[in-house]
Amino acid sequence: EYNNAVYRTVGQLVFSKIPSITKPKVLAKTVWLFSIFSKSEEISSDPNFSSFIKFLYDQRQTDDINILIDVINALSSLVNRGCVPLEYFTELLPQLLHYTNDLNDELCKAAFNCIGYILFNTDEPTQFILNAGYIQACYNVANEREDDVVDAMA
């Protein structure tokens, strides 16, 4: 209920400002807000929902690790609720698989969580994920990382 209340209070205002966001700090806070909005059940019925998804998807190219983690966590929430169109998976999955090898534990965990939601909630990309090296990534993490990263993988 908290996420729905936050979204109802400021979500539409933030949506209206998306095209004008250029400052890195404002962008970071916007992505963080979007990661909260993504947990709202009301967001997918918003008329601006497709611009919300596109905004998040476009931010996956950032060099800012904290923004990237927030983007992946937001996409994870949306994937878990079945709100991300399948066409986004083709480009997103290789990038997520790449992040499973990242030295930043939070990024690695976020990537594994998102891949897990994709595997659990869709049938389409499962073979693609397996062919792209998911099993090898799991093996590498299981042998080389701390328990909390391994837990995210499982």
pLDDT of residue 127: 72
pLDDT at 67 exceeding the cut of 80: yes
Residue with tokens 């594994």: 112
pLDDT, mean of residues 42-54: 73
pLDDT of residue 12: 66
pLDDT of residue 35: 74
Task: Report which of residues 40 and 101 the model is more confident about.
Answer: 101
pLDDT of residue 73: 87
Q: Which residues contact 18 (CB under 8 A, 6 or more apart)?
A: 30, 51, 52, 55
pLDDT at 82 exceeding the cut of 70: yes
> How far is the C-alpha of 126 from the C-alpha of 121, rounded, in Å?
10
pLDDT, mean of residues 126-134: 71
> How far is the C-alpha of 106 from the C-alpha of 102, rounded, in Å?
9
Q: Give which of 51, 45, 46, 44 is closest to 30, Cα–Cα.
A: 51
Helix ranges restricted to H, 10-133: 12-17, 24-37, 49-58, 65-80, 89-99, 105-121, 126-131
pLDDT digits (tens, 9 = 90+) for 102-122: 888 899 889 988 888 887 776
